[in-house]
Copies of this chain bind each other. A is one copy, B any other.
Amino acid sequence: MSNKKIEIFDSTLRDGAQGEDISFSLEDKIKLALALDKIGVTYIEAGNPGSNPKDMEFFKRIKEIKLSNSKLVAFGSTRKANIKAEEDKNLKSLIGADTETVAIFGKAWDFQVEEILKTSLEENINMIFDTIKFAKEKNKEVVFDAEHFFDGYKANKEYAIKAIKTAKKAGADVIVLCDTNGGTLPKEIKEISKKVVEELGGRIGIHCHNDIGLAVANSLAAVEEGVIHIQGTFIGFGERCGNANLSSIIPTLQLKMGYRVIEEEKLSRLTKTARFISEISNLKLTDNMPYVGESAFAHKGGMHIDAVTKSTKSYEHINPELIGNDRRFLISEVSGRSTILKEIQKIFPNIERDSEEVTKVTNRLKELEYEGYKFEGAEGTVELLIRKTIGKYKPFFQLNHFKTIVEQPFSNKDFTSTAIVNITVDNENKIAASQGDGPVNALDKALREALESFYPKLKEVRLVDYKVRVLDSKSATGSKVRVLIESTDGRENWTTVGVSKDVIEASWTALVDSLEYKLIKDMEKNLKAYF
């Protein structure tokens, strides 16, 4: 077990912003920088002040905020060909960002210099030298990103090595080997990193892209050869297939390879940080993302659930608590009585495995599954169903009638649909009507309006996700559909499900469950506070 420290260089705000569908506002960038600082990555590369005036604005704003753990980095390129470093406008902006550390990228592949940059091999070497020297004279810590280093090394080894030796001679503090196109194999990464570590010494870094699905493996392979600085993005997004995923690399280094990466007590923030970044980036975190995904510790097969109940190590490589994730047992056709019992005991702890109640709930779940329900991830509906089947459940309202109308052409240009809802609560009748984007949206609005006059706390509930899946799509427009709705009250998220041949009825079922779930939870809290 080594106890060597590895530097984590997060480029979510810079290289990550090159990802498709990613576009950060200034406020987003501030929030993200604070989250990264809180978990304590070594460096936060936050933007390219030369190429982007919004990034310059960020560096001004962030100075008013004090980061506690991480060093902020501004990113820029070597000077333009055939001018002096001090005359290069982008370079001036880079220095002007006023960060302790700058990252400077330069070409290490002869083909790129001659064919893309259209300058001479010699001038490129001068550009590297002058730029780094200039930054060092301004007292910056300099991270040199040798772009396309591995492709360059394979094409012209001498030139690639000359580029990084020049950077080192000019005073660069870290030399980073970049697999810019993301197509290099771990074996090649190992061989080449090893040679560079031997030949240059000092702090060597790695920057991998995921074009063949090996960015994480390649980063770890380089560490095994003495590299001590890893660049990536926190949840892996970036241009094309993205950058090395730091939320996978950090726990593997720390928990499985014995390196020191971030402070131990901060590791439990890993999942929370990843989900926060995905939320701010408006990019759904893939459920099966290693360590931090919703499904990363979700067990489905009945046999697996049974085994994990006996001993978690039977189907878990680590304890999910270490990185702040949760174990989940998915209720599915293949899952058995013990999974259902666990769900029941969350609400009614005294119910036993062989009791009649467990049979009743199991049968009800199976009936609904047969109709097309699926309870995986729909914990909200499962909880309500258990309460309705076992407990003394009293409905919060009674539906008398609803009606939705969709018309084309429609009188109101902004909307296409109208809904009317008629309900009774404690013998009091209430009718509400609303227009919306489509019938489900109109119905959602009308139902809330009707209910909020009785239950004002429902104003806190916001739907965060809405999914429709057509079952047996061969029956075409007469097919059954399953609707999943995820809701939040700002503190907790819950998911409910509805199935019907009518998308509106299925949505209605899931919607009603979602609101009832909230009402039950609040009622319980009040009872607890009272006694």
Contact A441 B478, CB 8 Å, known A239-B300, A291-B212, A502-B416: yes
CB closest chain-B residue, reference A315: B181
Evaluate contact between A241 and B477: CB separation under 8 angstroms. Answer: no
Q: How far in angstroms is the closest Cβ of chain B from A249?
A: 8
Contact with B along A101-114 (1 / 0, CB 8 A): 00000000001100
Evaluate contact between A405 and B408: CB separation under 8 angstroms. Answer: no
CB closest chain-B residue, reference A21: B376
User: Is A431 among interface residues, defined by CB-CB distance under 8 A?
Assistant: no
Evaluate contact between B406 and A472: CB separation under 8 angstroms. Answer: no
CB closest chain-B residue, reference A376: B20
Evaluate contact between B187 and A224: CB separation under 8 angstroms. Answer: yes
Evaluate contact between B318 and A183: CB separation under 8 angstroms. Answer: yes
Among the stretches A32-40, A280-288, A358-366, A516-524, the one at the interface with B is A280-288
**Complex: A256 Cα to B475 Cα, angstroms:** 40
Q: How far in angstroms is the closest Cβ of chain B from A238?
A: 8
**Complex: A417 Cα to B299 Cα, angstroms:** 40
Evaluate contact between B213 and A438: CB separation under 8 angstroms. Answer: no
**Complex: A500 Cα to B439 Cα, angstroms:** 12
User: Is A293 among interface residues, defined by CB-CB distance under 8 A?
Assistant: yes
* From A18, A25, A406, residue with most partner B Cβ within 10 Å: A406
User: Is A120 among interface residues, defined by CB-CB distance under 8 A?
Assistant: no
User: Is A69 among interface residues, defined by CB-CB distance under 8 A?
Assistant: no
* From A182, A291, A474, residue with most partner B Cβ within 10 Å: A474
User: Is A401 among interface residues, defined by CB-CB distance under 8 A?
Assistant: yes
User: Is A321 among interface residues, defined by CB-CB distance under 8 A?
Assistant: no
CB closest chain-B residue, reference A318: B183
User: Is A170 among interface residues, defined by CB-CB distance under 8 A?
Assistant: no
Contact A504 B20, CB 8 Å, known A116-B311, A290-B213, A296-B211: no
CB closest chain-B residue, reference A238: B288
**Complex: A10 Cα to B444 Cα, angstroms:** 43
Evaluate contact between A220 and B314: CB separation under 8 angstroms. Answer: no
User: Is A465 among interface residues, defined by CB-CB distance under 8 A?
Assistant: yes
Contact with B along A6-45 (1 / 0, CB 8 A): 0000000000001111010101000000000000000000
* A405 partner residues in chain B, CB cutoff 8 A: 403-405
**Complex: A331 Cα to B212 Cα, angstroms:** 24
Within the complex, which residue of B212, B220, B470, B502 is in contact with A317, where a contact is CB–CB below 8 Å?
Answer: B212
Evaluate contact between A298 and B438: CB separation under 8 angstroms. Answer: no
Interface residues of A in 268-298 (CB under 8 A from B): 282, 286-291, 293-298
Evaluate contact between A467 and B466: CB separation under 8 angstroms. Answer: no
Evaluate contact between A438 and B501: CB separation under 8 angstroms. Answer: yes
Contact A437 B502, CB 8 Å, known A181-B315, A315-B181: yes
User: Is A186 among interface residues, defined by CB-CB distance under 8 A?
Assistant: yes
**Complex: A256 Cα to B214 Cα, angstroms:** 13
**Complex: A18 Cα to B481 Cα, angstroms:** 22
Listed by A's residue number, 5 A-B pairs whose Cβ atoms lie within 8 Å are A19-B288, A19-B300, A111-B311, A214-B220, A441-B477
Q: Which 8 A-B pairs have the closest CB atoms?
A: A183-B317, A217-B217, A463-B476, A438-B502, A213-B248, A437-B501, A213-B290, A441-B477
